Amino acid sequence: MVHLTINGIPVEVEEGTTILEAARKINIDIPTLCFLKDINEVGDCRMCVVEVEGNRGFATACIQKVAEGMVVKTSTPAVIEARKIVLDLILSNHDRECLTCTRNGTCELQKLAQEFYVDEIKYQGSRNRHKIDDISPSIVRDFNKCILCRRCVATCKNVQGIGAIDCVNRGFESCISTVENKSLNDVNCTFCGQCIEACPVGALKEKDSTEIVWSKLRDEDTYVVVQTAPAVRAALGEEFGMPIGTNVTGKMVSALKHLGFDKVFDTNTGADFTIIEEGNEFLERFKNNGVLPMITSCSPGWVKYIEMNYPELIPHLSSCKSPHQMFGALIKTYFAEKEKIDPAKIFVVSVMPCIAKKFERTRDDMQGAGYDDVDAVLTTRELARMIKQAHINFVDLEDSKFDSPMGEATGAGAIFGVTGGVMEAALRTVQEKVTGNAFEKLEYESIRGMDGIKRAEVDMNGTKVKVVVASGLKNAQIIMEEIKSGKADYQFVEIMACPGGCIMGGGQPIRTSKERSTIDIRGKRASALYSIDEKSIIRKSHENPVVKKIYEEYLGEPGGHKAHELLHTTYVKREKYNLGE
């Protein structure tokens, strides 16, 4: 252990601790900008400078390790002045358009400018001008607001193992770019959106879909149906100041009804269809020596990744569409027929924790009924924006229920939003189908938790099935290399592009670097979904009465002709470009 004092307060910490961590231990706040715990610890921006007795000059608290007897001062006039200069320099080359910026109110730079009372721009000089990249269906990059903190670069490279972006050029010309400065649309980006979650400012954001949704809601001739993914309800409340991990299902449904959607459906029901189809596909492959391991396909960032990086492994991917695409196809067919609505007049909006879903809906073979399965994807953040625009008092809303006839979902559908959830939901159905026994215990503890890779073996009447669950694309890469080299003996693989699963998707509320360092955001959001599952009366997808009815009345057998036409898709080999290749 090492002993030191910070602002006169003694503190004891383990050797190797940084000054920043030691200060946080005794509730002393040191501002940071480029720092992102375990991801970007480079000490570049120098916002966290502190004075250390005996040191010449300042120390950078986010990387400087503590030493025995160290005397640290975090808020002397000299320190405050130094931090103000850092801010003045950043702001001198920044597009200061706070009023029209997505991050107005949640921007870490704006907050620091307020705290340090920056009431004028000190240094006026040349400014870099960058072209805005808004070509992709998922991400908009405006580097006129970039502060070169590199949190996005480190996230893309170190967490996702992709390296679609990097810092190029030197000095005043430095900027974040892609190979040959192409649009993100034309490089090896998966649209996972983890860089947006990492960015402290408004340089990265999702492609806006609120305008088109508002216009459809205004149009009396359009029947607007909305569906909401499991992970949205575990995080939407955060946008309204509610504690992380609050389940806001009822309020969310009320808000959507207030906004004027004609029907509010639950994508959890779509997830139940996915389990039926995916479970059936797995059993077919398992019994008939099909391509194994079978890999889940509900995370579109992951699907784009395998198409670009491991096209030879595409036959391993389940042909199932993701839950919202399946559900969209059913809304435009089964629901439209039942309610006698012309499907051409139905506009399906999916509220998702994910920005890759914006890309997914535009893929070929996502038009099961001859129309786009889904017409617009809103992120959790965009839905929050619409609720705020409508001045709905979200926190005080009464709870409402999803609409029938497609509103009933199971606990299995709810846990789709967390890493391991798809596998657990599938095993509940597959194990019962194989063994013929109804299991009392439905929790598969070995594939729960936030580890990046989780391996387990499931006994099905004496037959062992090896499964593996991975979240985050760097972990996915490890599993793909195992499969490619022939070392893997798994039968079933679940992959989610985002670390922790959809609860941590690129469309979820953005939390600050400090919150990411000090709060178990993943754990809290995951608990919200597991508790929905625990409280559900029906916890297995194959017992969902809505699902059973639609198969009986409309789809026929799981994996049958109609189910294939509406609920399955195909994949393509994609070109991959990478920096340095």
Size of the site for ligand SF4 (CB under 6 A): 40
Residue 559 CA to residue 568 CA, distance in Å, equals 9
Q: Which of 110, 177, 380, 471 binds ligand SF4 (CB under 6 A)?
A: 110
Per-residue interface string for the shown chain with ligand SF4, residues 205-244, x marking contact by CB under 6 A = ----------------------------------------
Q: Which of 18, 31, 51, 145 binds ligand SF4 (CB under 6 A)?
A: 145
317 counts as binding ligand SF4 under rule CB under 6 A: no
Window contacting ligand SF4 (CB under 6 A); options: 50-58, 162-170, 321-329, 393-401: 162-170
Radius of gyration of the chain (CA): 25
List, in order, residues 6 or more apart from 520 with CB less than 8 Å away.
none
DSSP-derived 3-state class of residue 220: coil
**Stretches 82-90, 156-164, 257-265, 448-456: which one binds ligand SF4 (CB under 6 A)?**
156-164
Stretch that binds ligand SF4, among 21-29, 196-204, 342-350, 440-448 (CB under 6 A): 196-204
241 sits in the region (left: phi over 0; alpha: psi -120 to 50; else beta) called left
Name beta bridge partners: 225. 263, 348
Q: Give dist(CA 235, CA 501) in Å, integer.
A: 13
Cα(275)–Cα(231) distance, integer angstroms: 17
**Shortest approach of ligand SF4 to residue 169 CB, angstroms?**
13
Shortest Cβ 34–ligand SF4 spacing (Å): 7
> How much of the chain is helix, strand and coil, in % rounded to 5?
45, 15, 45
Answer for the pair 427, 434: CB distance below 8 angstroms, yes or no.
Answer: no
- With respect to ligand SF4, which residue has the nearer C-beta, 162 or 331? 162
**147 lies in the site for ligand SF4, by CB under 6 A:** yes
User: Is residue 116 packed enough to be buried (19+ CB in 10 Å), middle (13-18) or exposed (0-12)?
Assistant: middle
Complex with ligand SF4: residue 162 or 232, whichever CB lies closer: 162
Burial class for 487, CB neighbours closer than 10 Å (0-12, 13-18, 19+): exposed
Determine the interface stretch with ligand SF4 among 198-206, 329-337, 409-417, 559-567 (rule: CB under 6 A). Answer: 198-206
Cβ count within 10 A of residue 459: 10
Alpha-carbon distance 503 to 194, whole Å? 12
Smallest separation (angstroms) from ligand SF4 to the CB of 239: 16
Distances, alpha carbon 343 to alpha carbons 16, 373, 488, in Å: 62, 10, 45
- The verdict on 198 binding ligand SF4 (CB under 6 A) reads yes
189 binds ligand SF4, rule: CB under 6 A: yes
When the beta carbons of 99 and 537 are compared against ligand SF4, the nearer one is 99
CA dist 104 and 87 (Å) reads: 17
What is the smallest separation between the CB atom of 157 and ligand SF4, expressed in angstroms?
A: 8
Least distance to ligand SF4 from the beta carbon of 474, Å? Answer: 11
Nearest to 442 by CA among 460, 429, 457: 429
Q: Give 106 or 429: the residue with its C-beta nearer to ligand SF4.
A: 106
Q: Is 264 in the site for ligand SF4 (CB under 6 A)?
A: no
201 binds ligand SF4 (CB under 6 A): yes
Least Å distance, CB 261 to ligand SF4, is 28
User: Which C-beta is closer to ligand SF4: that of 61 or that of 201?
Assistant: 201
Please identify, among the stretches 46-54, 82-90, 202-210, 452-460, the one whose residues bind ligand SF4 according to the rule CB under 6 A. Answer: 202-210
Does 334 contact ligand SF4 by CB under 6 A? no
Site string for ligand SF4, 66-105 (x = CB under 6 A): ----------------------------x-xxx--x-xx-
Q: How far is the CB of 562 from ligand SF4 (least distance, A)?
A: 35
Q: Which residues of 409-436 are buried (b: 16+ CB within 10 A; e: fewer)?
A: bbbbbbbbbbbbbbbbbbbbbbbbebee
Instruction: Please report, for residues 32, 64, 101, 499, 501, the alpha-carbon distance to residue 151 in angstroms, rounded to integers and kept in the order given.
Output: 12, 19, 19, 16, 20
Q: Residues 349, 351, 353, CA angle at the centre, nearest 5°?
A: 150
- Tell which one of 32, 64, 155, 541 touches ligand SF4 (CB under 6 A): 155
Give the three-state DSSP class for 284. helix
Based on CB atoms, which residue is closest to ligand SF4, 203 or 248?
203
The CB-of-381 to ligand SF4 minimum distance in angstroms stands at 14
- Out of 51, 64, 179, 191, which residue is the one contacting ligand SF4 (CB under 6 A)? 191
- Contact pick of 13, 66, 118, 176 for ligand SF4 (by CB under 6 A): 176
Among 13, 30, 199, 275, which residue sits at the site for ligand SF4 (rule: CB under 6 A)?
199
What is the rounded CA–CA span in Å between residue 352 and residue 328? 13
Q: What are phi and psi of 61, to 5 degrees?
A: -65, -30
Q: Is 204 in the site for ligand SF4 (CB under 6 A)?
A: yes
SS3 state of residue 577: coil
Contact residue for ligand SF4 among 13, 28, 66, 162 (CB under 6 A) = 162
Nearer to ligand SF4, 152 or 256 (CB): 152
Q: Is 31 in the site for ligand SF4 (CB under 6 A)?
A: no
Peptide bond into 405 cis (omega under 30): yes
Q: How far is the CB of 176 from ligand SF4 (least distance, A)?
A: 5
Residue 294 CB partners (closer than 8 Å, separation 6+): 278, 281, 282, 285, 316, 317, 318, 491, 492, 493
Element (H, E) at 9: strand 9-13
Query: CB 161 → ligand SF4: shortest distance, Å?
Result: 9
Binding site for ligand SF4 (CB under 6 A): 94, 96-98, 101, 103-104, 107, 109-110, 139, 145-152, 155-156, 160, 162, 164-165, 176, 184, 189-195, 198-199, 201-204
